[in-house]
A and B are shown apart, each in its own frame.
Chain A
Amino acid sequence: MNLILDLLAQLGATVRKRLEGLGAASRTFVALIAATPSVFRRPRWVTDQVHFIGNYSLVIIAVSGLFVGFVLGLQGYYTLNKYGSEQALGLLVALSLIRELGPVVTALLFAGRAGTSLTAEIGLMKAGEQLAAMEMMAVDPMKRVLAPRFWAGVISMPVLAAIFSAVGVLGGYIVGVQLIGVDEGAFWSQMQAGVDVWADVLNGVIKSFVFGVAVTFIALYEGFCAAPTPEGVARATTRTVVIGSLMVLWLDFLLTALMFS
């Protein structure tokens, strides 16, 4: 009897804790959105953070995009060549990059490159009681620290994803046309015939925007709620990458099912 009660209590505690976490996250999100107007009155705060989040991520995103494009061009060629339709290589490279790989791989890299630094920065601010000191000076850390970083992430993510896709298409072009020798005209014309501006390019941008909101928010929330100790910050940084990446993959499945069904 006691065992059953214990199990029940355990289940209840788990559910309660999950709900509590969800509630706290939602409250933080609402507070973050509420702090938005003050951010756009001082766009300087956002540009500072775009520089930190976006510009510094540019190199890793561009290089990854180039190599993903290379690999897509090479592997796509081997498979398509079997069916004698290597002209469709451009279409294959462009569609897989614009629809899926561009937003998803960028978001995963973004979680690793920018998300972790956000979490660590805010976690250390909290551990060093800088956030508390700000509150003592009547400066709302939500407005001064979190909201500018959030919007900088939301702005940077679509830009980075677009650069990733564009560089990837160029990578596919370099391998497919320049190295292997697929016909250049067919490469571009098949791509243009198959890629739709609204259905594919715009949906890719929407996807990367949603991922930007998710990853940046998770990074900020984990940092904001980290235990103010070295281990706490370390754990929060790990959680940012794990939860952020899983969230991106799950959201991608959901958005793909909604957009391209």
Chain B
Amino acid sequence: MQRKSLDVWVGLFVLLGAIAIMFLALKAGNMSSMSFGPSYALAARFDNIGGLKPRAPVKSAGVVVGRVERIAFDDKTFQAQVTMRIQSEFQFPRDSSAKILTSGLLGEQYIGLEPGGDVKNFAEGERIKSTQSAIVLENLISQFLFSKAAEGSGGEKK
């Protein structure tokens, strides 16, 4: 009898540990938002990916439809090669375009998919042709400064 009660306590202890890990994985971690369903790969080339990271969300109309799987550098075209996994339930026309966007002013970066009008959908492993790079703050500021300077010199000529 004493033997059995000891086993019960040990079992309870291990069970408590399992519950704790489940709690960490489901409530604190992203296990519940992870998709284990079927998916297909899409590739895209960007001139500049900014701060995009693997596992960043791919969103269309603000809804998460997939995740960035791998980011590599292509030394032939000098572009970033981004591979993403889209859930199979979401199909996109072949002329859809991909943009790198930022959530909020300083938030994380994600890929936005804009659906096109083609009748055919993307197949596994296909490449998204039209892409738009991330906006780099320094480039934006220098553009702004240059245009201001051009305006200033134009004003003098008049």
Contacts and interface: CB of A to CB of B under 8 A. Distances in A.
Interface of A: 47-48, 50-51, 54-55, 58, 94, 98, 155-156, 158-160, 162-163, 165-167, 169, 188, 191-193, 195-197, 200-201, 204-205
A194 to B, nearest CB: 8
Contacts of B149: none
A171 to B, nearest CB: 13
A197 B29 contact: yes
A48 B23 CA distance: 27
Contact of A51 (B10, B27, B29, B31): B10
Nearest to B19: A166
Nearest to A172: B28
Interface in B3-30: 6-7, 9-10, 13-14, 16-17, 19-21, 23-25, 27-30
Interface residues of B, number: 23
B17 A163 contact: yes
B34 interface: yes
A195 B113 CA distance: 25
B13 to A, nearest CB: 5
Interface string B29-45: 11111100000000000
B148 interface: no
10 contacts: A51-B6, A55-B10, A159-B13, A169-B23, A192-B29, A195-B30, A197-B31, A197-B34, A201-B25, A201-B28
**Interface on chain B toward A: helix, strand, loop, or mixed SS?**
helix
Contacts of A155: 14
Nearest to A155: B14
Contacts of B13: 50-51, 54-55, 58, 156, 159
For the complex of A and B, the 10 pairs showing the least CB-CB separation, nearest first, are: A159-B17, A166-B20, A162-B20, A197-B29, A195-B29, A163-B20, A94-B28, A197-B31, A162-B21, A166-B23
Nearest to B14: A159
B10 A50 contact: yes
B51 to A, nearest CB: 15
B129 interface: no
Interface centre among B21, B23, B33 (most CB of A within 10 A): B21
Given A192-B29, A196-B29, A201 B24 contact: yes
A204 B20 CA distance: 13
B70 interface: no
Contacts of B55: 196
Contacts of A188: 27
Contacts of A166: 19-21, 23-24, 28
Nearest to B8: A51
Contacts of A158: 17
B24 A165 contact: yes
Nearest to A170: B23
Contacts of B28: 94, 98, 166, 169, 191-192, 195, 201
B30 A169 contact: no
Contact of B30 (A48, A50, A51, A193): A193
A166 to B, nearest CB: 4
B16 A159 contact: yes
Interface in B110-151: none
Contacts of B19: 166
Given A58-B13, A197-B30, A200-B29, A98 B24 contact: yes
Contacts of A98: 24, 28
Interface centre among B7, B9, B30, B55 (most CB of A within 10 A): B30
Contacts of A195: 24, 28-30
A187 to B, nearest CB: 11
A159 B21 CA distance: 8
Given A192-B33, A196-B55, A197-B29, A163 B16 contact: yes
B151 to A, nearest CB: 36
